[in-house]
Structure 1
Amino acid sequence: MPSDPLAARRITQVLHEGFADPTVGPSRRRAQSDLVDDWLRTLWGRAEGPAQGAALAAIGSLGRRSLGPASDLDLVLLLDPAQVHAERAEQLATALWYPIWDSGTSLDHAVRSPAECADVARTDLRAAISLLDLRLIAGDAQLVQDTAARVRIQWRREARRRVGELAALATDRQRRYGSLAHSSEPNLKSDRGGLRDITVIRALAESWLADHDHAVVDAAATVLRDARDALQAVTGTSGTRLRRADQEAVAALTGHATADEHHRVLADAARAVTWELHRAVRAAEAGLAPGGSATRGAGTARRPALQRLAHGVLVQTGEVSVDPDSTDPLRDVAAVRHAATTGLPLSAATLARMAQAPIGTLGPAQRDVLVDALAGEHLADTYEALDVKGIVARWVPGWEEIRNRPQRSAVHRFTVDRHQIETVLEAQRFLARVSRPDLLLLAALLHDLGKRAGARDHAAEGAALAEAAALHLGVEADDARTVATLVREHLTLVDLATGRDLADPATLRDLLHAVDQDLGTLELLRALTEADAIAAGPAAWSTWRTDLVDHLTSLARSALSGTAPAPRTRLAPQRSAQETVRAAVRRTGSAQVLYPAHLEAEPISQICLGAPDGAGVFAAMARVLVRLRLDVHSAVVTTGDGIAVNTWWVAAAPADLPHPSVLRTALERELAHRDRADARVLELPAALPPRTTEDTPVVTLLPGASREATVVQVNARNRPSLLADVAEVITLHGMQVRSAHVMTLGRRAVDVLYLTDQHGRALDPPATGRIVAALMEAAET
């Protein structure tokens, strides 16, 4: 073991003290930095570092004196070539770097002259930003001071041409890493709104082109650094990715009751950082733009040009503000509308004024202006500005309960509140297709208000909250009830379309009941369904789900308008393909395979399998697909007239599918051995045990879904053998699958099974209890 390792010195400090106290974090990091400084000065003395012409300097977190328990070290050995020759420089570097490496500490190092530092800062943006934190550790203090001053002068001289690069750097980081506030496993350093963005904000301030709210940024930095320190203390590594497995421990160490509570605090800090970066970049760009600093007047009367708009809204120096003397009741919402529609930011003074202004129930005119704002293409940026000041939570009852609330789902990309904003943006595409676009936007804004802590059914609980919020926003009572209906049923259409038998009259009956037998409400629900799913993430919507939803909507539309139903579209189980397979099975008495369709835009293909019906046929088909490594995304299983014809959508392009003869041979072999227990065993690696409560399978009865069958939904973490295991359990219990509807959603599989006994009747209560327990066990395996 090295005689003087950094790791041993860290043990002398009580790292876990003060993590839950935000006032202790900065002093703890300074103490940790001082500890490392002392050790590095010891190494400098042992290396006999010269007092003139050479210096050891720090950048990064050590340069800022914000070192974490396991942070990397970023060091620069500064050398004056006129005073230190190359051989001595190499000896000095070797004497410094090797003891650090031997200690097990991660080191990023460089050996440069002051001129080389300036050259690197001129050509490399990231290096320029990091060198702004250059700080003396040991050696020639004047050398470090002169180099730091040289870098800063150059940074300010070239900052005007680098504003665009800084904005692109932040944008590129968001593209590669995502948003810290909305990530289920945030990177505290690299995600948008993380520690790197704070460094960029301060670099902009060093350029003198734009400033920021120092109190807000400092507070956010403390929150993020405290989380980083706790994470490093928990994991013992320098990583900054807060993974699910560590979130509860990190939350406890930072004084939060749950990981969700800690996430809300992190999201609040990250959104504040994101907004301050946005403001700083916009301010710098406005100052550089040809018209950004337009003025009027002359001499001492010269001042920025001012544009006056209706309702007391002002535009000045590229920002939206309000006339403080205006008493127009539409003033504030009109300012928000102008920002959302033009992309111009709201000024800091205007946001501060809105955050303090008294809020009451909106009048009809205010409501209409607010709806216009919801139709603005720049709504997301405007929302983030309002959210940082807590304005939306003051305007919309119930918003505070879902603000920054994480969604522990692989499907969702955003926190609950931002997901609602994204849903509004997606709903904008449907405004010309519905009779009440205003209600669509309001329902999109309010549809997840029920996702509060402890909610059991967020759609049902959110309906009342949404109605109350709509009334507060100036919506008439009848319209508020329609909004409540849309919120209560916003999952109904997709659940029925993808999880129920579309040929069963009960499915259509349930949809018509959900929309109160109203065609306008149906169209609004169809639009909200797609907007909500696309806003959630790519795993929540797909071409085949679109087809199923559209088909069920068409059936309901026809029923409500009294017209003939539209034909099913190309991705539904094609009737001609099913009849072809059914006829072939009837003629030959053997298994049949047909590939009727595939998607051009997605690697999804359709497989139609048919065989004489009987015990174990469904399970045999599922096992064949598992053995051939075909990942099932969706399926519709039907039986009738003694023949089972099942349509499967699998994740494969046509060229990747086995030849139909291969699949038919495999299916015949599986059917021939379906009575042999050893032949039914799938040779697959064991599934990992559930890690969190959200991975626990849920088996639910759907009473009233069908008069002829018992309908059971299995919702579980997906694995290759899940469907085959479920099918095997049904076979072992001597039950029949009248139809099945299979869907993969992120990491979850949702299988809805229409089960009957051997006589084709719905299951009795004892049989239902047995199969539910057995399916639960199979889903956990």
Structure 2
Amino acid sequence: MPSEALSARRITQVLHEGFADPSVGPSRRRAQSDLVDDWLRELWGRADAPVSGAALAAIGSLGRRSLGPASDLDLVLLLDPEQVDAATAEQIATALWYPIWDSGTSLDHSVRSPQECAEVAAKDLRVAISLLDLRPIAGDEQLVSEAAGHVRAQWRREARRRVKELADLATDRDRRYGSLAHSSEPNLKSDRGGLRDITVIRALAESWLADHDHAVVDAAATALRDARDALQAVTGSSGTRLRRADQDSVAALTGHATADDHHAVLAEASRAVLWELHRAVRAAEAGLAPGGSATRGAGADRRPALQRHAHGVLVQAGEISVDPASEDPLRDLAAIRHATTTGLPLSTATLARLAQATVGPLRPSQRDVLIDALAGEHLADTYEALDIKGIVARWVPGWEAIRNRPQRSAVHRFTVDRHQIETVLEAQRLLPKVSRPDLLLLTALLHDLGKRADARDHAVEGAPLAEAAALHLGVEPEDARTIARLVREHLTLVDLATGRDLADPATLRELLTAVGEDLDTLELLRALTEADAIAAGPAAWSTWRADLVDHLTGLARTALSGTAPAPRLRLAPQRSAQEAVLGAVRRSGGAQVLYPAPLDAEPISQICLGAPDGEGVFAAMARVLVRQRLDVHSAVVSTLDGVAVNTWWVAVAPADLPHPSVLRTALERELAHRDRADARVLELPPAAPPRTTEDTPVVTLLPGASSEATVVQVNARNRPSLLADVAQAIALHGIQVRSAHVMTLGRRAVDVLYLTDGHGRELDPPSTGRIVAALMEAAET
């Protein structure tokens, strides 16, 4: 076979041998491995290698005979230094490696003697694990058998000493990599719960210190490898990152109706892998635990010491179990509480029994123990153990519909179910700030139950689901209604604060209506807003957003209590700066630029631009910022006595801003040529065409958001010229911008525009229709 034809053959073979049937995957991968084995043997035959003392062996996926259609090759050239000299070794290596590189196949290679294999395995844990898969391809098989035997014997001999190193490796992966189950773009190989963790599980089994559930791990490996194969067939590359752009194609190739359905399968597989890995590490560590205080008895009667806790909870050998003879109704929940508060794991037998237990509506006493469990710092680990056995879905109505469900939002790091757990963890910090911490924890647990398949408005649809779940968990009816209200409005505060004009009375009225004009509910909503945003990811919360949220909350608090003054909005336009720019424009008759005092330790700068008001001024200012590569976070647009004084917040540190004279000159040039179509063209590469429905812009009217202007929201994929293009569309239609509120979330920009006609009035229906169409076109450009 010509080397250049190998890659095409591998892809062709995988596409013709099916994906929808999981039983085909292992045989298909063996066929892939056989194909590559045959090619490597041809290369070996042309390498003129000696009959003995030299061999080609595989490790990695080829060594395990689980090769994907574009997987890298991991090869070891084994040589006996007593039989093969350096010149012959170089000649063999050259004859092997260069044809592989010429074929376009990625290669990881090494040249070692059997003794060197054992030596490097003793020093490097990762190399030791990889060499456990050493498999002969061509040449002296006895040499490969000798090397593999040395490595395996050494691994078993030193396994007890290396258990801590293995545990540290697992812990390090927890820190360095994301969770495959909860990632929106998972790496099937490297993420936690991925193919590399399966290799570690099997390495532990090779040590004879700990075994695993082979059926569970084999099934998970098949699901992950099938996805990897489909991804490599789709992309034609060896990458294992399942990116959004490829998820629909990979899902279709693997026989799933949607990418979300496929993600749920991958999440289930990866969570099973993590659970088996943690079980295996724990078992290995327990097997090495010294006697003494942890045991009781003597000789053959020695056994782990037993600690008894309230409600029939037992701790033995570092695990939590329950007294089977106890009939305490709090027993099971008390065991879970003990796990979340101490970090000790629930025993396998306890988890198995909980998975089969009948669960009815909770009593008030059980509810209280559950709330205590939600306040435990080790909630996430306990949740993963419970959920892998399906226990959480048995306890919480509606949970199964969101379990392992991915979030199609750039700001979210986790699946819907895990995001709710992360929100509970974030809410724990805020418990002292609310009068009903129990309701905050329960609402955090239930707030996204509405994110089910085909949900149109997850907050509205989730409110009755959360109320029903709360009642099942033993919550009083009135409190359950409060939870439902909080779930229905859990996005209202941040949306109003970051996307509406805080000076417009309608904004405050809408928030007061949302909280039922109840101060306690307002404080709960404020805490939930922060916990939800931080749990989503760093793009969803910042000092800037917190300041806006606190300002609007303060206005509402003042309106409801009349005692607490609203906090000053740090990110509001500084009045002194506006007045200085206004005076400078009046004196000079031209454009002016001022940088107000910077915010402390904030990578956001404030820029105040002023110019005589008129058509196209807002668009001209937006173009200046685009040309200076200044990404706009927010803007407040105002006209003072015929002068446009617009304040912009840009994502750059004050020290990195261009000199004000540079912006002033650029603004004067834009204003002078604002009527010339050629001068309005931005020298930027065109935006990439939409790849998914998520990239499609949405322009929405917000009726009732203001009694003084027509409010329009533009939600589109972000790009440097988006705001300038939107502003230009508005200028071309002769419409005025009273204020603009810009928010960037990951790849999306959400711009809320308060628009009026030339007389400062709301737009009439025909004008509204025209501007909505124009904004849609501008957002798509």
- Give me the TM-score of the superposition, normalised by structure 2: 0.96
Q: Is the 8 A contact 2:557 2:566 kept in 1?
A: no
- Which stretch shifts more, 386-395 or 286-295? 286-295
Residue 506 (structure 1) aligned with residue 506 (structure 2):
yes
- The residue aligned with 1:238 is 238
1:286–1:642 distance in 2 versus 1, CA, 3 Å: farther
- Once residues 632 and 603 of structure 1 are traced to their aligned partners in structure 2, the CA distance between those partners, rounded to angstroms, is 12
- Which stretch shifts more, 408-417 or 34-43? 34-43
For 1:307-318, what aligned pairs fall within 5 Å after superposition? 307-318=307-318
**Secondary structure at 2:432 match in 1:** coil
- Which stretch shifts more, 132-141 or 524-533? 132-141
Shift of 1:441: 0.7
- The residue aligned with 1:668 is 668
Residue 638 (structure 1) aligned with residue 671 (structure 2):
no
- Once residues 461 and 225 of structure 1 are traced to their aligned partners in structure 2, the CA distance between those partners, rounded to angstroms, is 36
Tell me the amino acid that sits aligned with residue 516 of structure 2.
D
Q: Is the 8 A contact 2:3 2:102 kept in 1?
A: no
- The residue aligned with 2:421 is 421
- The residue aligned with 1:576 is 576
- The residue aligned with 1:250 is 250
- The residue aligned with 1:358 is 358
Q: Is the 8 A contact 1:294 1:305 kept in 2?
A: yes
**Secondary structure at 1:607 match in 2:** strand
- The residue aligned with 1:193 is 193
For 1:366-515, what aligned pairs fall within 5 Å after superposition? 366-515=366-515
Shift of 1:48: 5.2
Residue 322 (structure 1) aligned with residue 322 (structure 2):
yes
- Once residues 676 and 92 of structure 2 are traced to their aligned partners in structure 1, the CA distance between those partners, rounded to angstroms, is 75
Residue 740 (structure 1) aligned with residue 727 (structure 2):
no
Shift of 1:709: 0.9
**Identity level (%):** 87
Shift of 1:570: 2.3
- The residue aligned with 1:649 is 649
Shift of 1:42: 4.2
Shift of 1:653: 1.4
Tell me the amino acid that sits aligned with residue 128 of structure 1.
A
- Once residues 681 and 51 of structure 1 are traced to their aligned partners in structure 2, the CA distance between those partners, rounded to angstroms, is 71
- Which stretch shifts more, 95-104 or 565-574? 95-104
Q: Is the 8 A contact 1:551 1:569 kept in 2?
A: yes
Shift of 1:87: 3.6
Shift of 1:205: 2.0
- The residue aligned with 2:298 is 298
- The residue aligned with 2:32 is 32
- Once residues 37 and 648 of structure 1 are traced to their aligned partners in structure 2, the CA distance between those partners, rounded to angstroms, is 62
- Residue-by-residue CA offset, 1:542-589 (whole Å, 9 max, x unaligned): 111111110000000000001363341422323333344334445554
Q: Is the 8 A contact 2:594 2:608 kept in 1?
A: yes
- Which stretch shifts more, 515-524 or 38-47? 38-47
Residue 544 (structure 1) aligned with residue 552 (structure 2):
no
Shift of 1:178: 1.7
- The residue aligned with 1:79 is 79
**Secondary structure at 1:314 match in 2:** strand
- Once residues 292 and 716 of structure 1 are traced to their aligned partners in structure 2, the CA distance between those partners, rounded to angstroms, is 64
Tell me the amino acid that sits aligned with residue 351 of structure 1.
L
Residue 204 (structure 1) aligned with residue 223 (structure 2):
no
- Residue-by-residue CA offset, 1:389-442 (whole Å, 9 max, x unaligned): 111111111111111111121111111111111111111110011000111011
Q: Is the 8 A contact 1:571 1:597 kept in 2?
A: no
Tell me the amino acid that sits aligned with residue 64 of structure 1.
R
- Once residues 587 and 85 of structure 2 are traced to their aligned partners in structure 1, the CA distance between those partners, rounded to angstroms, is 93
Residue 272 (structure 1) aligned with residue 272 (structure 2):
yes
- Which stretch shifts more, 461-470 or 157-166? 157-166
For 1:177-192, what aligned pairs fall within 5 Å after superposition? 177-192=177-192
Q: Is the 8 A contact 1:544 1:572 kept in 2?
A: no
- Which stretch shifts more, 673-682 or 462-471? 673-682
- Once residues 16 and 339 of structure 2 are traced to their aligned partners in structure 1, the CA distance between those partners, rounded to angstroms, is 45
- Once residues 440 and 64 of structure 2 are traced to their aligned partners in structure 1, the CA distance between those partners, rounded to angstroms, is 49
- The residue aligned with 2:623 is 623
Shift of 1:268: 1.2
Q: Is the 8 A contact 2:3 2:99 kept in 1?
A: no
Shift of 1:279: 2.5
Q: Is the 8 A contact 1:610 1:643 kept in 2?
A: yes
1:702–1:118 distance in 2 versus 1, CA, 3 Å: same
- Residue-by-residue CA offset, 1:726-757 (whole Å, 9 max, x unaligned): 11111111111112211212111111111111
Shift of 1:506: 0.6
- Once residues 102 and 665 of structure 2 are traced to their aligned partners in structure 1, the CA distance between those partners, rounded to angstroms, is 62
Q: Is the 8 A contact 2:4 2:104 kept in 1?
A: no
For 1:20-169, what aligned pairs fall within 5 Å after superposition? 20-47=20-47, 49-169=49-169
Shift of 1:45: 4.2
1:35–1:689 distance in 2 versus 1, CA, 3 Å: closer
Q: Is the 8 A contact 1:5 1:102 kept in 2?
A: no
- Which stretch shifts more, 240-249 or 563-572? 563-572
1:665–1:290 distance in 2 versus 1, CA, 3 Å: farther
- Once residues 21 and 748 of structure 1 are traced to their aligned partners in structure 2, the CA distance between those partners, rounded to angstroms, is 37
Tell me the amino acid that sits aligned with residue 217 of structure 2.
V
Q: Is the 8 A contact 1:5 1:99 kept in 2?
A: no
Q: Is the 8 A contact 1:2 1:102 kept in 2?
A: no
Q: Is the 8 A contact 1:5 1:100 kept in 2?
A: no
Tell me the amino acid that sits aligned with residue 72 of structure 2.
D
- The residue aligned with 1:693 is 693
- Once residues 245 and 472 of structure 1 are traced to their aligned partners in structure 2, the CA distance between those partners, rounded to angstroms, is 40
Tell me the amino acid that sits aligned with residue 577 of structure 2.
A
- Once residues 624 and 210 of structure 1 are traced to their aligned partners in structure 2, the CA distance between those partners, rounded to angstroms, is 64
- Residue-by-residue CA offset, 1:679-722 (whole Å, 9 max, x unaligned): 32222221112111111111111111111111111111111111
Q: Is the 8 A contact 2:421 2:445 kept in 1?
A: yes
**Secondary structure at 2:738 match in 1:** strand
- Once residues 554 and 373 of structure 2 are traced to their aligned partners in structure 1, the CA distance between those partners, rounded to angstroms, is 32
- Once residues 679 and 139 of structure 1 are traced to their aligned partners in structure 2, the CA distance between those partners, rounded to angstroms, is 71
- Once residues 706 and 11 of structure 1 are traced to their aligned partners in structure 2, the CA distance between those partners, rounded to angstroms, is 58
- Residue-by-residue CA offset, 1:630-664 (whole Å, 9 max, x unaligned): 11112222234433322211111122112223222
- The residue aligned with 1:523 is 523
1:253–1:588 distance in 2 versus 1, CA, 3 Å: same
Tell me the amino acid that sits aligned with residue 747 of structure 1.
R
**Secondary structure at 1:644 match in 2:** strand
Q: Is the 8 A contact 1:635 1:743 kept in 2?
A: no
Q: Is the 8 A contact 2:14 2:69 kept in 1?
A: no
Residue 213 (structure 1) aligned with residue 188 (structure 2):
no
- The residue aligned with 1:554 is 554
- The residue aligned with 1:532 is 532
- Once residues 70 and 397 of structure 2 are traced to their aligned partners in structure 1, the CA distance between those partners, rounded to angstroms, is 43
- Once residues 681 and 73 of structure 1 are traced to their aligned partners in structure 2, the CA distance between those partners, rounded to angstroms, is 49
1:215–1:14 distance in 2 versus 1, CA, 3 Å: closer
Shift of 1:7: 4.3
Structure 2 unaligned spans of 5+: none
- Once residues 164 and 482 of structure 2 are traced to their aligned partners in structure 1, the CA distance between those partners, rounded to angstroms, is 46
**Secondary structure at 1:737 match in 2:** strand
- Residue-by-residue CA offset, 1:51-74 (whole Å, 9 max, x unaligned): 543332221112111112222222
- Once residues 248 and 361 of structure 2 are traced to their aligned partners in structure 1, the CA distance between those partners, rounded to angstroms, is 40
- Residue-by-residue CA offset, 1:139-198 (whole Å, 9 max, x unaligned): 333332232222122222333343333334334444444221222222111111110111
**Secondary structure at 2:596 match in 1:** strand
- Once residues 103 and 292 of structure 1 are traced to their aligned partners in structure 2, the CA distance between those partners, rounded to angstroms, is 61
**Secondary structure at 1:400 match in 2:** coil
Tell me the amino acid that sits aligned with residue 157 of structure 1.
R
**Secondary structure at 1:241 match in 2:** coil
1:249–1:102 distance in 2 versus 1, CA, 3 Å: same
- The residue aligned with 2:340 is 340
- Once residues 695 and 147 of structure 1 are traced to their aligned partners in structure 2, the CA distance between those partners, rounded to angstroms, is 53
Q: Is the 8 A contact 2:4 2:102 kept in 1?
A: no
Structure 1 unaligned spans of 5+: none
